[in-house]
A = this chain, B = another copy of it.
Amino acid sequence: MTDSTGVSGQVAETVADEAAAARIAVIDLLGLLAFGELSAFERLATDARMAPTLVDKIALARMAAAEFAHFEAVQEHLLRMGVDSEKAMGPFVLPLTLFHNLTAPADWLESLVKVYVGDNIVADFYRETASVLEPDARELVLDVLADTGHAAFAVERVRAAIEAHPIVAGRLALWARRLLGEALTQAQRVAEDREALTGLLAGMGDLQALADMFNRIAQAHAARMDALGLSA
């Protein structure tokens, strides 16, 4: 293909290829975020059914509505980029749905731990990757993830539950470990399927950099679990 174009043609083609790959990777990051917000909405709204009080139910429903507003913001951004948001989300429907189906909380406390663990892992991941985004996409991503009221709500209630019944700590620690494991399993699946995304994240093919990133996220998770009174 490049034989007839000469050296300068090859360079131009490589630059164009890189630009195209970068665009695919950014669309992937936003598509993943959009479907992540949409499925977080579903998860929170469904978990609201387990809330022990009306106040808790309303709090979770409010978080769910906020996630949907975030989803809409990302969807609009994709639209402005000329991208169909359903197409951008497509590759992430299966891994995220699998993640949520494999980690359906059995009770209210498990759902709160999932909110806390999930939100933080997602925020860590996007903070790691935001540097590769254009300024306006970066601002959008940081805006969407800046809303940390959810985590505070979850932490407060989980801490109170552990104080009242210290025996739940062991079960919740196992639960948090399983959540991280399933999240990493699905992240692995995405990394294998989405070459452009993986390439962009790892600096064009250096898989060690990607592994390092996942390790940093796992370490931050462990530190948060310690702070919550759960040994990771």
Contacts and interface: CB of A to CB of B under 8 A. Distances in A.
B45 A64 contact: yes
B45 A86 contact: no
A103 to B, nearest CB: 15
A34 B65 CA distance: 16
A55 interface: yes
B49 A61 contact: no
A97 to B, nearest CB: 9
A54 B88 CA distance: 11
Q: Number of copies of this chain in the oligomer?
A: 2
Contacts of A231: none
Contacts of A46: 42, 45-46, 49
B42 A86 contact: no
Determine which residue in A58, A69, A86, A89 has the highest number of CB atoms from chain B within 10 A of its CB, and name it.
A58
Interface in A136-157: none
A71 B62 CA distance: 10
Contact of A41 (B45, B69, B75): B45
Contacts of A61: 38, 41-42, 68, 71
A57 interface: yes
Interface in A73-116: 75, 86, 89-90, 93
Contacts of A72: 62
Contacts of A48: 42, 45
A210 B46 CA distance: 35
Given A42-B61, A54-B89, 20 more contacts: A38-B58, A38-B61, A41-B61, A42-B45, A42-B48, A42-B49, A45-B45, A45-B48, A46-B46, A46-B49, A53-B86, A54-B86, A54-B90, A58-B71, A58-B75, A58-B86, A62-B68, A64-B68, A65-B65, A65-B69
